[in-house]
Amino acid sequence: MAVRKPKKKMIVTKCRCGRQLKLKDSLAGKTIRCPQCSKPVAVPTGGANEVDNDDFLDDELEDDDYEPPARSRESRGNRNRKRGKRSAGFEFGWRQIMGVLALGLGGLIILGSTIALINGKTELVGGIGFAVLCISAGVYWIRGKTYE
């Protein structure tokens, strides 16, 4: 005669995602993570949800030996890897943006002073000196040089 092992008690519960879990009785009253959605599931303390472990309940929903896959670590080289090199010697940054703005301002001042001079208003001609200063600063900033 074959010796039968005593049947283990199992607890059946459902996760919020709809996955039915069949758990060992030793997990009663504890909180586990759902193998499908990884959200916490409170395991009831038995009673109406407790069932005998018979062959009828052995199906694909049994997750006794389930261990979630270990998270793979990304290599640190990817995180610290520098971006590809840019074109030879030219970087676009705040100095270049300020240089373009200074060139635009200088151009507008020259345009305004020229129009004022044509209309006979000589008091605005002094702005040409300021325009030349803006344009020269803009050229130096675009080249990456400053007055330091």
Q: Residues 2-38: pLDDT tens digits?
A: 555 556 678 888 888 888 888 888 888 888 889 888 8
Domain membership of residue 41 (yes or no) is yes
Domain membership of residue 3 (yes or no) is no
Q: Which two tokens stand for residue 141?
A: 């900033």
How far the first Cα of the chain sits from its last, in Å, is 98
Domain membership of residue 62 (yes or no) is no
Domain membership of residue 118 (yes or no) is yes
Task: Please answer whether residues 13 and 2 qualify as being in contact, where contact means their C-beta atoms are separated by less than 8 angstroms.
Answer: no
Each of the 148 residues of the chain gets a pLDDT tens digit; together they read: 555 555 667 888 888 888 888 888 888 888 888 988 888 988 887 655 445 555 555 555 555 566 767 777 665 555 555 555 555 555 667 778 888 888 888 888 888 888 888 888 877 667 777 888 888 888 887 887 555 5
Domain housing 52: 9-57
Q: Which of 82, 24, 73 is nearest to 53 (CA)?
A: 24
pLDDT of 136? 85
Domain membership of residue 81 (yes or no) is no
As for how many domains the chain has, the answer is 2
pTM, to two decimals: 0.35
